[in-house]
Amino acid sequence: MIPETLKWIGGVEGYLELIDQRLLPGEFKKLACRDTEQLWDAIKTLAVRGAPAIGVAAGYGVVLCLQQVDGDMARGLRAIAKGCDYLGSSRPTAVNLFWALDRVKRKAEDFAAANAKASLEQLQAAVLAEAEAICREDKAMCQAIGTHGERFIKEGNGVLTHCNAGALATAGQGTALSAMYEAKKNGKSFSVYADETRPLLQGSRLTAWELQQAGIEVTVICDSMVAVLMRQGKINLVITGADRIAANGDAANKIGTYGVSLLAKAHGIPFYVAAPSSTFDLDIASGDEIPIEQRRADEICSWGTRQTVPTDAGVYNPAFDVTPAENITAIITERGVIERPDTENVRRHLGK
Amino acid sequence: MIPETLKWIGGVEGYLELIDQRLLPGEFKKLACRDTEQLWDAIKTLAVRGAPAIGVAAGYGVVLCLQQVDGDMARGLRAIAKGCDYLGSSRPTAVNLFWALDRVKRKAEDFAAANAKASLEQLQAAVLAEAEAICREDKAMCQAIGTHGERFIKEGNGVLTHCNAGALATAGQGTALSAMYEAKKNGKSFSVYADETRPLLQGSRLTAWELQQAGIEVTVICDSMVAVLMRQGKINLVITGADRIAANGDAANKIGTYGVSLLAKAHGIPFYVAAPSSTFDLDIASGDEIPIEQRRADEICSWGTRQTVPTDAGVYNPAFDVTPAENITAIITERGVIERPDTENVRRHLGK
């Protein structure tokens, strides 16, 4: 079964239940977030991760903001403003976090403005409805990407993916992995290779786990093993997610994706990117303008408790790299497929 | 200073001193092997590793075989035969281990046949001399590779290497890294990027450590970061070692090397292989005939004490891959340089 990463339990006085991704794959445990502090912690410590999942969680976080409030709507709005500032500080680089908090906060403000005499309870209901809308839209987006993407997976294929663009990163069934889940629903049999994805191992820890839960055959490899598998003819296509896509189709994604795209090209293997259309940033003309975040050296310097890099040696740890559009066979969004992505084809797809 | 991986201390009753590579880079400690049991353990548990270093260590191991013997040469030869069988069982896939044991054993037998009246002490001296010859030849081989290879490193270059083909893998100053040590001796300033080299991290643990010891600037990266560094123009050349080279120049080396060669090609970056001429196996026409050893899944499945791959998920863990000669700009041996390696150029280089 495809795991359900997050779920709101109950009504306006309910709570958010998350799969605690810090414990996977060794332990499967649900985590209940009953106040904003617990949710802040969950986001901060990566119990929940993946841009869409963080956004949905944050939306429900606004519901939690109101549970401690007594009084009228004005008090409620103040609690929401304060709570959103607080939740936003849990992961300040997560764009979806702010997007979701702002959307639900604005909804609350609009509701209050339009319904001056409404009660706090009615405000709560409006806020929960908006959080649920975000969650519903995310699930529909995942489903649509899968429906559009599954056609690229053929009977007997070997499919390679990098990092985790799966159910665990969304409220629904993921983006890149959604295509696999749909292919399976359609009765195709195929096998997936999951890059372990250094340094944080989202591929071996998360992707392999969720595919296994869904009954899809999966083999974990080190990132350095992609090329030899391709040469052996074991990989027929690559599908990855994307964190940000420029107007010309250049796609930023987890470090290592660009290398995989070059190896695919060298072996004549199609390379697909699956991501919601909201991933496009049309203010950015090409991937050269996407800034590459550097992460902490200590992610690479130890192995459990053991030091693996000499003290004071240099370490380079970029979080992302950019795959140029020319290496991408097609980009799959919830709206359909952009074949041979370039500025013109992207614009046409987005209807702009 | 370039670390001295192994060193025989004293005369025929002496011992072998090794850098304990199991503890690097967190701890630098010498390990004394005073009997064959200690040496067997050191080889088995990778305190000493790298084909040339294992060969040299094994040569000295034959000296250790004689230290417990009382009596005449016949007893000595029996102790050698028994000791060599025992030491050979420490790492049965290491070709150099058997080559060195056989060479010293044969030397002892030849000595005994030619000097029927010699004493055990004289046999010991002959055995030690042969072990020292192996060590001396290894150092000369490393030095010559460095001399031939250093010309490819230019002032200000960024040099990428994969795994550890350095002093820690030989008795001398390594193969691929020897070129770097010679370039430094010649006053060139340059910077090295060391792939961490999953799954066993020889790049981050060993290569980075020994380059740092030798005062060469080194930056550790995950294997998945090679492509983005190349695109940024930070890498001017790649030098790796090789475990086995076919008659046509196809080179087997640590898993990941083939992918690096393709990424170098895609970015127009020269790719060099540095290895002793004994690495060529002319009985093998091309890399397709080189069998790829599969290693244990558990090398990938945990991170310290933490499980990182779901129980029962598939794991693929090949030890090596093969870089086709067409991806190799030149092969550097102790005899010189094979530009554009192919069957004809390899044969000419080896004088066959």
Q: Is A319 on the interface with B (CB under 8 A)?
A: no
- What pLDDT band is residue B303 in, cutting at 50, 70 and 90? confident
The answer to whether residue A329 scores a pLDDT higher than 80 is yes
Q: Is A25 on the interface with B (CB under 8 A)?
A: yes
Residues 269-308, chain B, touching A (beta carbon < 8 A): 292, 300-301, 303-308
**Pairwise CB contact (< 8 Å): B258 & A231:** yes
pLDDT in tens, A133-151: 999 999 999 999 999 999 9
The answer to whether residue A94 scores a pLDDT higher than 90 is no
A195 interaction partners in chain B (CB closer than 8 Å) = 224
- What pLDDT band is residue B86 in, cutting at 50, 70 and 90? very high
First to last CA, chain A: 38
Q: So what's the pLDDT on residue A164?
A: 97
Q: So what's the pLDDT on residue A93?
A: 78
| B220, closest residue in chain A (CA to CA) | A315
Q: So what's the pLDDT on residue A176?
A: 98
The answer to whether residue A101 scores a pLDDT higher than 90 is yes
Which residue among B292, B314, B318 sits closest to A220, beta carbon to beta carbon? B314
Q: Is this prediction's pTM over 0.90?
A: yes
Whole-number mean pLDDT of chain A?
Answer: 96
Q: Would you call B243 a catalytic residue per the annotation?
A: yes
Q: How far apart are CA B253 and CA B265, in angstroms?
A: 17
Tokens representing A314 are 């240099």
Percentage, residues of chain B above pLDDT 70: 100
B219 interaction partners in chain A (CB closer than 8 Å) = 313-316
Q: So what's the pLDDT on residue B132?
A: 98
CA distance A267 to chain B (A): 10
| ipTM score above 0.90 | yes
Give the 3-state DSSP-derived string for A64-84, with helices as H, strands as E and coil as C: HHHCCCCCCHHHHHHHHHHHH
Q: So what's the pLDDT on residue B304?
A: 78
Q: Which residues in chain A belong to E strands, given as ranges? A: 6-9, 15-19, 30-33, 158-161, 191-195, 217-221, 237-240, 244-246, 251-254, 271-274, 280-281, 302-303, 306-307, 314-315, 320-323, 330-333, 336-339
CA distance B297 to chain A (A): 9
**Overall average pLDDT of the A284-300 stretch:** 91
Are B176 and B241 in contact by the 8 Å Cβ rule? The answer is yes
Report in angstroms the alpha-carbon separations of B84 from A123, B58, B98, B198: 83, 9, 8, 32
Which residue among B221, B256, B316 sits closest to A316, beta carbon to beta carbon? B221
pLDDT in tens, B39-76: 999 999 999 999 999 999 999 999 999 999 999 999 99
Taking one residue from A and the other from B, the number of pairs with CB-CB distance under 8 angstroms is: 194
**Pairwise CB contact (< 8 Å): B313 & A219:** yes
Paired residues of B117 in beta bridges:
none
Q: Which amino acid is at A167?
A: A
The answer to whether residue B352 scores a pLDDT higher than 80 is no
